[in-house]
Amino acid sequence: MAVEGACLCGRVRFEITGPLLNADHCHCSQCRRQHGAAFSTYADCRPEDFKWISGEDHVKRYETLSGAGWCFCKECGSTLAGSDKGEINSVTLGTLAGDPGIKPESHIFVGSKAQWYDIADDLPQFEERPRDSSKARGKNC
């Protein structure tokens, strides 16, 4: 089953044909700045399961020195995906249409969360990224 996503203006559309994995709410300072919110919500995907359907020429990448990065629409600014050394490895759940088949499993980097935000759910919280290999995704932050 494929899941589709799109930016706010609709110029950029993408599809994931495989399962989404390891969804979480990230509270790191980079994600907060990137999204202008208390946290971002990402799920992992395999690079080979991701493809741009339309508007790839409107995608801008911001990459850090480590090669980790974010893909966003250069027209409307929507953050769409995370990448590592140029390969898409995660998507923002908020850009997906319909049921992605996964729900966030935890809060990560709560050691640097916004002071004005109180986490009010029962999901596990981690000061940083868990060392458990099932959560050690190599995501951007």
Domain holding 83: CATH number? 2.170.150.70
Residue 81 lies in a domain: yes
Q: Is residue 27 part of a domain?
A: yes
pTM of the model: 0.86
Looking at the DSSP assignment, which residues form a beta bridge with residue 71? 61, 81
Range of the domain at 99: 3-112
Q: Could you tell me the sign of the dihedral formed by the alpha carbons of 73, 65, 94, 100, in that order?
A: positive
- Domain presence at residue 60: yes
pLDDT in tens, 72-118: 999 999 999 999 888 999 999 999 998 999 999 999 999 999 999 99
The domain total for the chain is: 1
Domain for residue 100, yes or no? Answer: yes
**What is the model's pLDDT at position 135?**
42
Three-state secondary-structure class, residue 29 = helix
